[in-house]
């Protein structure tokens, strides 16, 4: 009986071909595996494929796009995820290994997660391997020479779509916020950062590592402008009140401990 193939989620990093790992590169040089890659619509190119092509890698004879539409329609998403998984399953059943090209890292907000999950629903014994890669926010920090964390810093990685109120709450508990997919809420985020005095500690980066990478240090200058979907904000929060050290990490104060016995009266300027 013919052995079934393996599905590989091949992480390519966020845009710089030099960030493809040796493991990923070795798989992509194989001529006997099928390349697959996500597209948001049949009229758009694959950003993941573009990274591989800019690296000088050539697709094998058999390669194809898989549609992962940008929509919040759960039924439509489920339909396309299943179709993609069925396409991959047929290739695997034919004994072919399948490489699914992923921008960034395959385990972080990636289409590969949906593909792998539905494939396992269809074929519980499917062989799946994830090739780890560089996340966009790690690459952004390197480009900006900005630490993601130091010592016992806390970090939150948050899709900005959770809303301004959620982001503001996280400022109480985290020293660094990585705000992903900021495009729809950028102006509101700028307002929040201005109000909290954090604009000077914030940086914007779009398509990190690609030929069209854009870095903006003066984040307020982006107000009212259009940005790419593949963009993020890095926010350092140096004024956060932190608890005492406990076993090398900060102990979070209880609400009762954090509140003074008598709340201070507001200045006239605050009323």
Whole-number pLDDT of residue 98: 98
Separation between Cα atoms, residue 71 and residue 165, nearest integer Å: 23
The pLDDT tens digits for 106-126 are 999 999 999 999 999 999 999
**Token pair belonging to 228:** 């790419």
Please list, in sequence order, all residues whose beta carbon lies within 8 angstroms of the beta carbon of residue 256, skipping any fewer than 6 positions away.
Answer: none
Whole-number pLDDT of residue 75: 93
Whole-number pLDDT of residue 95: 96
Residues of the chain with pLDDT under 70: 243-271
Q: Is 256 left (phi over 0), alpha (psi -120 to 50) or beta?
A: alpha
Q: Terminal CA-to-CA distance of the chain, rounded, Å? A: 78
The answer to whether 243 and 253 are in contact (CB under 8 A) is: yes
Whole-number pLDDT of residue 259: 46
Whole-number pLDDT of residue 269: 38
Whole-number pLDDT of residue 142: 94
| Structural domains present in the chain | 6-134 (3.40.1010.10), 137-241 (3.30.950.10)
Separation between Cα atoms, residue 179 and residue 66, nearest integer Å: 27
Whole-number pLDDT of residue 163: 92
Q: Give the β-pairing of 245-246 and 249-250.
A: antiparallel
DSSP helix/strand/coil, 155:
strand
């Amino acid at each position: 009986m013919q052995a079934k193939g393996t599905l590989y989620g091949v992480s390519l990093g966020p845009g710089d071909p030099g960030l493809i790992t040796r493991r990923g590169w070795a798989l992509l040089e194989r001529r006997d595996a099928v390349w697959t890659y996500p597209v948001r619509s049949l009229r758009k190119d694959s950003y993941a494929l573009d990274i591989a092509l800019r690296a000088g890698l050539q697709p094998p004879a058999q390669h194809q796009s898989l549609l992962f539409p940008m929509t919040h329609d759960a039924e439509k998403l489920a339909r396309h995820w299943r179709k993609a998984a069925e396409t991959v399953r047929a290739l695997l059943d034919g004994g072919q290994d399948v490489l699914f090209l992923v921008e960034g890292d395959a385990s972080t907000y990636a289409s590969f997660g949906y593909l792998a999950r539905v494939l396992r629903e269809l074929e519980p014994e499917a062989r799946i391997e994830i090739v780890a890669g560089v996340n966009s926010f790690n690459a952004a920090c390197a480009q900006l020479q900005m630490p993601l964390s130091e010592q016992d810093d806390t970090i939150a990685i948050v899709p900005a779509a959770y809303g301004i109120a959620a982001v503001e709450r996280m400022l109480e508990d985290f020293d660094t916020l990585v705000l992903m997919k900021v495009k729809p809420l950028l102006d509101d985020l700028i307002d929040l950062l201005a109000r909290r005095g954090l604009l000077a500690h914030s940086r914007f980066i779009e398509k990190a590592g690609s030929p069209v990478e854009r870095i903006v240090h003066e984040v307020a200058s982006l107000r009212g402008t259009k940005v790419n979907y593949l963009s993020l904000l890095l926010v350092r929060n140096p004024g956060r009140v932190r608890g005492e050290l406990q076993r090398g990490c900060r102990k979070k104060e209880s609400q009762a401990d954090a509140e003074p016995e008598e709340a201070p009266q507001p200045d006239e300027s605050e009323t």
